[in-house]
Structure 1
Amino acid sequence: MKGFLRRHQLLLLLLLTICSCTELEEKSSIPDHEVYIKTFGNDYTTLRIAGNSISYIPSQNSVYPTNFRFGFGGVLIYRDMEDKIHACDLACPVEATRNILVEVKMPFATCPSCGSKFDLTFGFASPCEGPAKETLKKYNAIDNGTAIIASY
């Protein structure tokens, strides 16, 4: 009987170990695209303040460095109310097109087409109104003390 219990305990322990090592990847209706944006100067100063944001959209008449990559619909970099930096795609996950981008008025981002509203207050970019069921697609964001780098 002792051997039977010991074998099942080892099997249970092995199963728990395997399950705890798997990482759940958040699925997104927004396709994967390269992201690389590095802020300097006025953009960096703006993003040092909690509640501020900057949108980077390649179709605007702005000049960006050639190594910038704008994700699928453009990139929103923002500092939440807890002073943490975040980045996400500007494309609405309901519409999933580059032609319909959320409009940002901190602490919310709203889709002008479907009406989905996303809460940016604490960096989750979670839907809080409308038909959206998933968050805005998130990217890595780091403040290294002299620049903010968003990447994916």
Structure 2
Amino acid sequence: MMKRAYIVCCLLALSLAGCENDIYRSSIPDVSVHLELNLVSQYPLFANSYNEYIIFSEPRYAVDRVGFGGVIVYTTLEGKYVAFDLACPVEAKRDVRVEPDDAGVLTCAVCGERYDITFGLGYPMEGISKEPLKRYVTSLYGNTLIVSLK
């Protein structure tokens, strides 16, 4: 019985130690993000759309927080709302931002990496970056879309 308990404890310790490396750490620092978008009065054309985006590089109101390099809020091809920091993870500088095109791809003019956001993942396409774009949490409460860090 004692041997079995020892084995179980060892396996548990190994499994917990293995999880330590699975934690995603972005090269983009955690900076406060808070946006509230009224999809009826402020952004009626953005509601129920596909492959559309809104960029927030500066706060609109005193309570707004736009992350490290600004925020892009995007409607995926599935109609879901997602948000990413505009700072390129390769460069990791506030002023080096990815630029969107009409196909759901964001490109960094400095390093040349392209990121696909069409399905809400922000994965690199060229292999230059080892990480996706920093993603923010989006929550829909009635007609208000809230973007936050966590």
Q: TM-score range by the shorter chain?
A: 0.7 to 0.9
Return the alpha-carbon distance in structure 2 between the equivalents of residues 13 and 114 of structure 1: 43
Asked if 1:55 corresponds to 2:52, the answer is no
Query: What letter corresponds to residue 129 of structure 2 in structure 1?
Result: A
Query: What letter corresponds to residue 73 of structure 1 in structure 2?
Result: G
The TM-score normalised by the length of structure 1 is 0.82
RMSD over aligned CA atoms reads: 2.5
Gaps of 5+ in 1: none
The TM-score normalised by the length of structure 2 is 0.83
Gaps of 5+ in 2: none
Query: What letter corresponds to residue 50 of structure 1 in structure 2?
Result: Y
Flag the structure with larger Rg. Answer: 1
Query: What letter corresponds to residue 72 of structure 2 in structure 1?
Result: L
Once the two structures are superposed, residues 75-113 of structure 1 have per-residue CA deviations (whole angstroms, 9 ceiling, x without a partner) of: 011111122211110011111111111111231111111
**Change over 3 Å in CA distance of 1:48–1:145 after alignment to 2:** farther
Once the two structures are superposed, residues 117-137 of structure 1 have per-residue CA deviations (whole angstroms, 9 ceiling, x without a partner) of: 001121110001251111111
Paired-residue identity, %? 36
Query: Could you tell me which residue of structure 1 aligns to residue 69 of structure 2?
Result: 73
> C-alpha displacement at 1:15, in angstroms?
4.0
Query: Could you tell me which residue of structure 1 aligns to residue 43 of structure 2?
Result: 43
Give the one of 111, 122, 135 matched to 1:125: 122
Give the one of 140, 143, 148 matched to 2:140: 143
> C-alpha displacement at 1:145, in angstroms?
2.6
Return the alpha-carbon distance in structure 1 between the equivalents of residues 78 and 99 of structure 2: 22
Asked if 1:134 corresponds to 2:131, the answer is yes
**Change over 3 Å in CA distance of 1:57–1:26 after alignment to 2:** same
SS of the residue corresponding to residue 39 of structure 1 reads: strand
**Change over 3 Å in CA distance of 1:74–1:24 after alignment to 2:** same
**Change over 3 Å in CA distance of 1:133–1:143 after alignment to 2:** same
